[in-house]
Amino acid sequence: MKSLLIATLGFCLGLNEAAFDPTQADITSAKQQIGSLIDANAALGPKFLRLIFHDCVSKKCDGCINFDIPDNNGLKEVINTLDNVYTNPEFNFNQKMSRADFWVLASIEAIDVGVNNDEPSAARPPINFVPGRVDCPTSPRTKDPASFPHSKMKPADMFKYFKDHFDFNANETTTIMGAHTLGRAVKENSGHIGRWTMDGEFSFDKAYYHLLVEESYLWTQQNVGTDEKPVWQWHCQTTLPIDNGESCGIMLPTDINIIRELQLNDVGYSSCEFLACKLAPTNVLVEKYDQSQEAFYQDFGAVFTKLINRK
């Protein structure tokens, strides 16, 4: 009877925040079930984190994705995986919290698992989850337009985008970019290819920033697209003899923007090479995070909390 009442209220109230009031036990149970998904398939963690950025790219996190937008390629399967748990009558999460809340919990669990994969005893980024997000009426689908950042953005344009869409200043943008320490770029989704950090695709740590400041790494531009439709990205190669010149990761031009002021043309090619480009003002923060994972975690927790609490 209680479940029927909640479902009826949700319909009548337009699934607003009054319709759901998940308990701490509900939240813990949801994270446990999501964690089981990641335990069974580690690649899901980074995908859950990607999903929340794409959900929150509008003015709020509303449990809705426009599948017609190429930037959202690959997310339908991720949502279906989460929905298998969210709508499962064994758990009734869809009668206890909004889909947007459930997706946010999935992203937080992905970060927690990533931290555990790197250092089980480490404190997690202090992310403050507050339930109450409202799903759009057609969740998980929408036809609403959305504007996404692209990898060819010049530094000023990139920082302006994050200010306009998320109210992030330059330092907060530099912090949130550290999410790239999880996962990899997939050609079918973005046109780019490769793992940002070669040693820790499933670990959430400071490795992303270390790649950018390590002096023994050589960064060069490579076109992973075609001559007609170039897709430029940066490839890292070790220069120490002991490493035999192995690849150490990739970066998109927008990643490099937080440490170097790239001189980009319209297709994302920089006229200055990595060390020849002027240091970006945010390079100080990049170096700070390379020196202190705790500092990165603290700042990331605050910025991520700001992201997910857009309602």
CATH of the domain at 107: 1.10.520
Average pLDDT over residues 180-203: 89
What percent of the chain clears pLDDT 70, i.e. is strictly above it?
91
Phi, psi (deg, nearest 5) at residue 172: -65, -35
CA distance 180 to 201: 9
Same domain, 161 and 71: no
Average pLDDT over residues 162-174: 96
Task: Examine residue 291 and state whether it is found in any structural domain, yes or no.
Answer: yes
Same domain, 76 and 188: no
Same domain, 87 and 223: no
Average pLDDT over residues 115-129: 89
Q: Identify the pLDDT of residue 218.
A: 92
| Selection from 211, 184, 186 nearest residue 195 by Cα | 184
Whole-number CA gyration radius for the chain: 20
Q: Name the domain count of the chain.
A: 2
Residue 17 banded pLDDT, cuts 50, 70, 90? very low
CA distance 249 to 258: 16
Find the domain containing 170 and state its range. Answer: 155-299
Tell me how far the alpha carbon of residue 269 is from its chain's centroid.
24
Q: Identify the pLDDT of residue 240.
A: 62
pLDDT above 80 (res 167): yes
Q: Identify the pLDDT of residue 278.
A: 97
pLDDT above 60 (res 243): no
Please list, in sequence order, all residues whose beta carbon lies within 8 angstroms of the beta carbon of residue 285, skipping any fewer than 6 positions away: 171, 174, 175, 258
pLDDT above 90 (res 28): yes
Task: Examine residue 306 and state whether it is found in any structural domain, yes or no.
Answer: no
pLDDT above 80 (res 151): yes
Same domain, 112 and 162: no
Domain boundary among 118, 135, 163: 118
Same domain, 14 and 88: yes
Q: Identify the pLDDT of residue 248.
A: 87
Average pLDDT over residues 169-187: 95
pLDDT above 90 (res 238): no
**Range of lowest pLDDT (157-171, 187-201, 246-260):** 187-201
Q: Identify the pLDDT of residue 13.
A: 39
Task: Examine residue 31 and state whether it is found in any structural domain, yes or no.
Answer: yes
pLDDT above 90 (res 310): no
pLDDT above 80 (res 199): no
| 214-221 contacts at long range (C-beta below 8 A, 24 or more positions apart) | 214/248, 216/240, 217/248, 219/251, 219/256, 219/273, 219/274, 220/273, 220/274, 221/269, 221/270, 221/273
Q: Identify the pLDDT of residue 117.
A: 85
pLDDT above 70 (res 10): no
Same domain, 59 and 190: no
Do the beta carbons of residue 33 and residue 110 sit within 8 Å?
no
Q: Identify the pLDDT of residue 83.
A: 98
DSSP assigned state of 180: G
Q: Identify the pLDDT of residue 19.
A: 67
Q: Tokens 């943008």 map to which residue?
A: 173
Task: Examine residue 127 and state whether it is found in any structural domain, yes or no.
Answer: no
Task: Examine residue 130 and state whether it is found in any structural domain, yes or no.
Answer: no
Task: Examine residue 269 and state whether it is found in any structural domain, yes or no.
Answer: yes
* CATH number, position 202: 1.10.420.10
Average pLDDT over residues 250-273: 97
Average pLDDT over residues 40-67: 95
pTM score of the predicted model: 0.91
pLDDT above 90 (res 253): yes
Mean pLDDT, the chain, whole residue set:
91
Q: Identify the pLDDT of residue 6.
A: 40
Average pLDDT over residues 228-239: 93
pLDDT above 80 (res 246): no
Q: Identify the pLDDT of residue 292.
A: 97
**Positions of E strands within the chain:** 184-185, 194-195, 217-223, 232-238, 247-251, 260-261, 278-279
pLDDT above 70 (res 26): yes
